[in-house]
Amino acid sequence: MSEIVTRSAIVTGGGKGIGRAVCLALAEQGVNVAVNYAGSQSAAEETAALCQEKGVQAMAVQADVAQADQVEALFAKATEAFGRLDILVNNAGITRDNLIVRISEEDFDAVLSTNLKGAFLCCKKAARLMMRQRTGRIVNISSVVGLRGNPGQANYCASKAGLIGLTKSLAKELSSRHVTVNAVAPGFIDTDMTRVLPEAARDAILSQVPLGTFGHPEDVAAAVAFFASEQAGYITGQVLCVDGGMAM
Ligand code: NAP
C-alpha cells in the first residue's frame, strides 16, 4: 500500500484578499498551509485559524519576500513544521501607481522588489526542495496588465510581465523533475488593492469586462487550486487569465 502524503504549501501574502482565498482553497484540498505576511499579522493569524478549521495544519509566518534572509527563514519554518513543501504560491504584491514621468526610482524598485524579486527568491528556495522531491507546484500571481500594459502602472506591469517570463523559464528548467510552474493572471478583483481606486476609474475598468462584473478572490483561488492539484500534473508554463474576459 502506498503511503498517503499530506501536501504542504507556502502562500506569500496569504493573510488577506486573493492570498487568503488561496490559503482556504488549498486547505479545502487537505493541504497544510504556511500563511506568509509582511505587516498584517492579525489577518494572517485569522487566515491560519480558518484553515485549521478545515482540518489542516496552518501557521502565520512573517517575512518580507523582498529580503533573501527573511525568505530563507520563511522556508525553514514551513519545512520544519510540515516536513516538506509541495506548493508555492507567489501572491505577495504591491502597487505604487503613477505616470512614467512621475514614478520615482524608489517606487519602481519597491514594486519590482516585492512583486518580481520576491517571487524569484521564493522560487529559488522552492526549486531546490521540489527538485529533490521530484514533484512540486509553483503558481505565480501575475495580472492581465502584465499581458496588456496599463497607463499609470508601468512599474507594476513590468513586474507582472516579468513574472510571466520567470514562470515560463522555470517551467522549462524544472520540468524534468516533475515540478510544474504556471501563472494566474487576474483581471479586476475586489480586494483592498483595488478598493482604493476612485469610482470613475472602477467604472472605466468595469466597462472593459465582457462578463460585466468585478471578480472575487475565490475566482482566482479556484484557478490556483487547480494548478496546484495533482490533476494538473501535465500542465506547465501556462498563463490562465481569470478576468471576466478582459484580456481576450
Ligand atoms: P491585497 O489585499 O493588497 O494583498 C496583498 C498581499 O501581499 C497582502 O497579504 C500583503 O501582506 C502581501 N505583501 C505585500 N508586500 C509584501 C512583502 N514584501 N512580503 C510579503 N507579503 C507582502 O491585494 P490582492 O488584490 O489580494 O493582491 C494579491 C495578488 O494579486 C498581488 O500580487 C496582486 O498584484 C495580484 N493581482 C490583484 C488584482 C486585483 O484586481 N486585486 C489583479 C491582478 C493581480 P501584508 O498586508 O502583510 O503586507
Does ligand 1 have an atom closer than 6 angstroms to the CB of 65? yes
In the predicted structure, residue 14 carries a pLDDT above the cut 70: yes
pLDDT in tens, 183-214: 999 999 999 999 999 999 899 999 999 999 99
The C-alpha cell at 140 is 505565480
CA–CA gap between residue 167 and residue 122 (Å, rounded): 12
Does ligand 1 have an atom closer than 6 angstroms to the CB of 47? no
pLDDT reported for residue 134: 97
pLDDT in tens, 167-180: 999 999 999 999 99
Q: How far is the CA of 36 from the centre of ligand 1 (A)?
A: 11
In this prediction, residues 67-77 reach a mean pLDDT of: 98
pLDDT reported for residue 3: 72
Residue from 11, 64, 77, 191 to probe ligand 1 pocket by mutation (most atoms less than 8 Å from CB): 191
In this prediction, residues 210-230 reach a mean pLDDT of: 97
In the predicted structure, residue 220 carries a pLDDT above the cut 70: yes
In the predicted structure, residue 106 carries a pLDDT above the cut 80: yes
pLDDT band of 1, cuts 50, 70, 90: low
Does ligand 1 have an atom closer than 6 angstroms to the CB of 91? yes
CA–CA gap between residue 42 and residue 48 (Å, rounded): 10
pLDDT band of 2, cuts 50, 70, 90: low
Q: Which atom of ligand 1 is nearest to the CA of 145?
A: 43
pLDDT reported for residue 171: 98
Give residue 234's identity as a one-letter amino acid code.
Y
Q: Using a pLDDT cut of 90, give the percent of the chain over it.
A: 97
Choose among 1, 8, 9, 40: nearest CA to 193.
40
- Active-site residue, 37 included: no
Q: How far is the CA of 24 from the centre of ligand 1 (A)?
A: 16
In the predicted structure, residue 5 carries a pLDDT above the cut 90: no
Catalytic residue among 37, 156, 188, 227: 156
Supply the residue whose CA is at minimum distance from atom 12 of ligand 1. Answer: 13
pLDDT reported for residue 4: 78
Per residue, the 3-state secondary structure of the chain, as one string, reads CCCCCCCEEEECCCCCHHHHHHHHHHHHCCCEEEEEECCCHHHHHHHHHHHHCCCCCEEEEECCCCCHHHHHHHHHHHHHHHCCCCEEEECCCCCCCECHHHCCHHHHHHHHHHHHHHHHHHHHHHHHHHHHHCCEEEEEECCCHHHHCCCCEHHHHHHHHHHHHHHHHHHHHHHHHCEEEEEEEECCECCHHHHCCCHHHHHHHHCCCCCCCCECHHHHHHHHHHHHCHHHCCCCCCEEEECCCCCC
